[in-house]
């Protein structure tokens, strides 16, 4: 009898669980959003402002691939949003360096402020998404902004499910049920997680990025407090990146100190300079540095072309595919009939690696530090679709990982020689060297350079430099940028000192310094004079 009673109880439990599971398959998304709006007081919120302290991060510039984004501690982080006007202003003070940062969105226009002067944004965020799109999306990803956008959406979908295992601190876990609501906002898909208290705990979307493709953008909201009937999180923690590489790619974090709802927002009108500004066109300007060597500039970042007897090589493919296509077209004009056999990548930072896929997709061998190979093969050169901003490799999909293997990647540890007898060119050499962090070897802490430092002197663990011994040209990225004539003399930096010590150790005979950033080529005498002040 007891056995029959137990089986009956088990049957009831299974039926109940089945009903709960079935309900998860057919959730009324609008009711879920309306319940969240009621619990959070959203329907009465026209504007909101929160103030706090925390950090912001420089996305795409970590020292190692396993590091998080380098952080800058900030105080008085203030974000003000007027939802109906689609207006947002962010202000904060950086502890390192003491800079004050102001960024603004007004409708379809985004800009920054430097004092009282508006600074138009003529380059996309990480060379992938317009700033106006990014900041509009940030309003939608805010807790109350998500609810408002969801209520206006026409394609709401939702599921209810338990979070079976653990989660990061403060999020639903260990069997707690959540409802995940999804909808379209223009070209972007937006998702939000509502916990069992009807509070928004996660929102997320994807943004276009030349390196990661559809890059994750996630905002986490915990430690909610009641501010006169309006619920708002006490901790905002945000990720931007790709969790396959590093789960700790934290974009910013703020502990809120004060929240005000329905304040009167004094909006900055769109300045004429911002209203008429356009994205910088892709422009290529070339300058001959020596016989068979050209600086291919014209943009915020450069490439260098080196011609050999039977092929050409390019140093750096910065920014994105649009830049790479323009540079490749110019190369074929400068040196018709010769294939681009190699492209040298100085480091893994997004600005330096953003245009590599274009070269890779045509079979050009990518030369990079051996630290980067798996990352590039599995992430940057992945043949999987990119939906937000498809490139040549996405559309035409040459499938180097399957039909043309191994993928054309050559790695550098200490040095690699291109040109010379090893490649069959007896006219010139291209030496590719790993830039060593010389602080330990020199017995100097950050090379005795004063001021804040977000990384070591070589800027990234995989940093490469290129030396052309015949032409006496040294090419670097991020370590030394020759100043324009008439500029105030620069103070020596840890990067300059590191470059100088590497030159001395390798006994380079340098006449010209060429930087991937900036348009001016500098002399070695000029460089040594600056760095000499730090010795």
449-481: pLDDT as tens digits? 444 444 478 889 999 999 999 999 999 999 999
Q: How many CB atoms lie within 10 A of CB 139?
A: 21
19, pLDDT greater than 80: no
pLDDT at residue 1, as a whole number:
44
Q: Is the peptide bond before 105 cis (omega within 30 degrees of 0)?
A: no
What crossing angle do the helices spanning 143-152 and 131-141 adopt, rounded to 10°? 90
CA–chain centroid gap for 313, Å, is: 27
Rounded CA-CA distance 361/407 in Å is 10
11, pLDDT greater than 50: no
Lowest-pLDDT choice from 154-168, 194-208, 381-395, 436-450? 436-450
Rounded CA-CA distance 39/491 in Å is 55
pLDDT at residue 446, as a whole number:
54
Kindly indicate the confidence band of residue 15, based on its pLDDT and cuts at 50, 70 and 90: very low
pLDDT in tens, 95-107: 988 899 999 999 9
Q: Exposure of 406 by Cβ count < 10 A (0-12 exposed, 13-18 middle, 19+ buried)?
A: exposed
pLDDT in tens, 368-414: 999 999 999 999 999 888 999 999 999 998 877 778 778 899 998 86
CA–chain centroid gap for 44, Å, is: 35
2, pLDDT greater than 60: no
Element (H, E) at 438: none
Kindly indicate the confidence band of residue 42, based on its pLDDT and cuts at 50, 70 and 90: very high
Radius of gyration in angstroms for the set of CA atoms belonging to the chain, rounded to a whole number = 27
77, pLDDT greater than 60: yes
pLDDT at residue 365, as a whole number:
94
* Whole-number Cα distances in Å, 287 to 269, 298, 303, 305, 492: 42, 10, 11, 10, 27
Lowest-pLDDT choice from 13-22, 44-53, 157-166? 13-22
Rounded CA-CA distance 516/355 in Å is 14
pLDDT at residue 426, as a whole number:
83
Q: Of 275, 35, 256, which is closest to residue 142 (Cα–Cα)?
A: 256
pLDDT in tens, 285-317: 999 999 999 999 999 999 999 999 999 999 999
150, pLDDT greater than 90: yes
Rounded CA-CA distance 110/93 in Å is 20
Kindly indicate the confidence band of residue 417, based on its pLDDT and cuts at 50, 70 and 90: low
Lowest-pLDDT choice from 81-85, 257-261, 265-269, 485-489? 485-489
Q: How many CB atoms lie within 10 A of CB 426?
A: 10
pLDDT in tens, 498-507: 999 999 999 9
pTM, entire model: 0.89
CA–chain centroid gap for 212, Å, is: 8
Region 508-535: mean pLDDT is 89
What's the number of CA atoms in the CB half-sphere (13 Å) around residue 535?
A: 9
**Which residues, 6 or more positions from 164, have their beta carbon under 8 angstroms from its beta carbon?**
174, 175
pLDDT at residue 289, as a whole number:
97
b/e 194-226 (16+ beta carbons within 10 angstroms → b): bbeebbbbbbbbbbbbbbbbbbbbbbbbbebee
8, pLDDT greater than 60: no
Lowest-pLDDT choice from 159-173, 334-348, 385-399, 416-430? 416-430
Q: Of 109, 94, 90, 23, which is closest to residue 50 (Cα–Cα)?
A: 90
Q: Which residue has the tokens 């010209």?
A: 512
Is the sign of the CA dihedral 161, 167, 169, 174 positive or negative?
positive
pLDDT at residue 533, as a whole number:
53
DSSP annotation string for 440-467? HHHT-GGGG--S--SS-TTSSTT-EEEE
Q: How far apart are the first and last CA of the chain?
A: 91
32, pLDDT greater than 60: yes
Region 73-84: mean pLDDT is 97
Kindly indicate the confidence band of residue 165, based on its pLDDT and cuts at 50, 70 and 90: very high
441, pLDDT greater than 60: yes
pLDDT in tens, 269-291: 999 999 999 999 999 999 999 99
Q: Which residue has the tokens 């919120």?
A: 45
DSSP 171: S
* Whole-number Cα distances in Å, 22 to 33, 42, 302: 20, 30, 58
Q: Provide the H-helix boundaries in 142-292.
A: 143-152, 272-275
94, pLDDT greater than 90: yes
CA–chain centroid gap for 501, Å, is: 30
Cβ(516)–Cβ(464) below 8 Å? no
DSSP 490: P
Rounded CA-CA distance 112/114 in Å is 7
b/e 29-45 (16+ beta carbons within 10 angstroms → b): beebbbebbebbbbeeb
Rounded CA-CA distance 242/348 in Å is 14
DSSP annotation string for 37-80? HHHHTGGG-SEEEEEEEEEEE-TT--SSTTS-PPEEEEEEEEEE
């Amino acid at each position: 009898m007891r056995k029959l009673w137990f089986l009956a109880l088990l049957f009831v439990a299974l039926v109940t669980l089945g009903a709960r599971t079935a309900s998860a398959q057919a959730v009324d998304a609008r009711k879920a959003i309306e319940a969240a709006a009621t619990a959070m007081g959203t329907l009465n919120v026209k504007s909101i402002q929160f103030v706090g302290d925390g950090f912001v991060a420089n996305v795409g510039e970590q020292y190692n691939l396993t590091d998080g984004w380098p952080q800058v501690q900030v105080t008085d982080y203030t974000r003000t949003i007027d939802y109906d006007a689609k207006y947002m202003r962010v202000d904060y003070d950086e502890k390192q360096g003491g800079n004050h940062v102001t960024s603004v969105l007004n409708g379809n226009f985004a800009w920054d402020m430097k004092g009282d002067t508006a600074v138009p944004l003529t380059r996309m965020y990480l060379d992938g998404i317009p700033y106006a799109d990014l900041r509009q999306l940030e309003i939608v990803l805010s807790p109350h902004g998500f609810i408002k956008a969801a209520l206006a959406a026409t394609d709401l979908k939702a599921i209810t499910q338990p979070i079976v295992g653990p989660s990061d601190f403060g999020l639903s876990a260990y069997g707690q049920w959540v409802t995940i609501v999804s909808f379209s906002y223009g070209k972007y898909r937006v998702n939000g997680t509502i916990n069992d208290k009807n509070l928004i705990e996660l929102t997320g979307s994807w943004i276009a990025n030349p390196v990661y493709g559809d890059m994750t953008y996630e905002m986490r909201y915990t430690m909610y407090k009641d501010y006169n009937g309006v619920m708002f999180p006490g901790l905002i923690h945000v990720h931007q990146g790709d969790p396959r590489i590093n789960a700790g790619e934290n974009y910013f974090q703020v502990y809120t100190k004060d929240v005000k709802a329905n304040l009167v927002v004094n909006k900055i009108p769109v300045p004429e300079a911002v209203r008429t500004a356009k994205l910088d066109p892709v422009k290529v300007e070339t300058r001959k540095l020596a016989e068979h060597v050209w600086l291919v500039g014209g943009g915020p970042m450069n490439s260098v072309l080196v011609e050999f007897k039977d092929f050409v090589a390019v140093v750096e493919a910065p920014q994105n595919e649009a830049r790479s296509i323009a540079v490749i077209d110019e190369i074929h004009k400068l040196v018709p009939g010769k294939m681009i056999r190699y492209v040298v990548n100085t480091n893994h930072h997004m600005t330096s690696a953003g245009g590599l896929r274009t070269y890779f997709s045509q079979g050009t061998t990518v030369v990079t530090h051996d630290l980067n190979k798996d990352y590039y093969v599995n992430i940057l050169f992945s043949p999987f679709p990119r939906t937000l901003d498809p490139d040549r490799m996405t559309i035409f999909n040459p499938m180097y990982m399957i039909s043309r293997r191994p993928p054309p990647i050559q790695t550098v540890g200490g040095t690699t020689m291109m040109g010379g007898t090893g490649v069959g060119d007896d006219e010139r050499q291209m030496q590719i060297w790993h830039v060593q962090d010389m602080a330990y070897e020199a017995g100097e802490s950050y090379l005795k350079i004063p001021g804040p430092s977000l990384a070591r002197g070589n800027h990234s663990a995989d940093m490469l430099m290129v030396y052309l011994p015949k032409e006496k040209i040294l090419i670097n990225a991020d370590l030394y940028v020759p100043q324009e004539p008439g500029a105030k003399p620069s103070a020596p930096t840890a990067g300059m000192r590191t470059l100088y010590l590497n030159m001395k150790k390798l006994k380079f005979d340098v006449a010209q310094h060429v930087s991937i950033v900036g348009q001016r080529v500098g002399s070695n005498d000029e460089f040594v004079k600056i760095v000499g002040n730090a010795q």
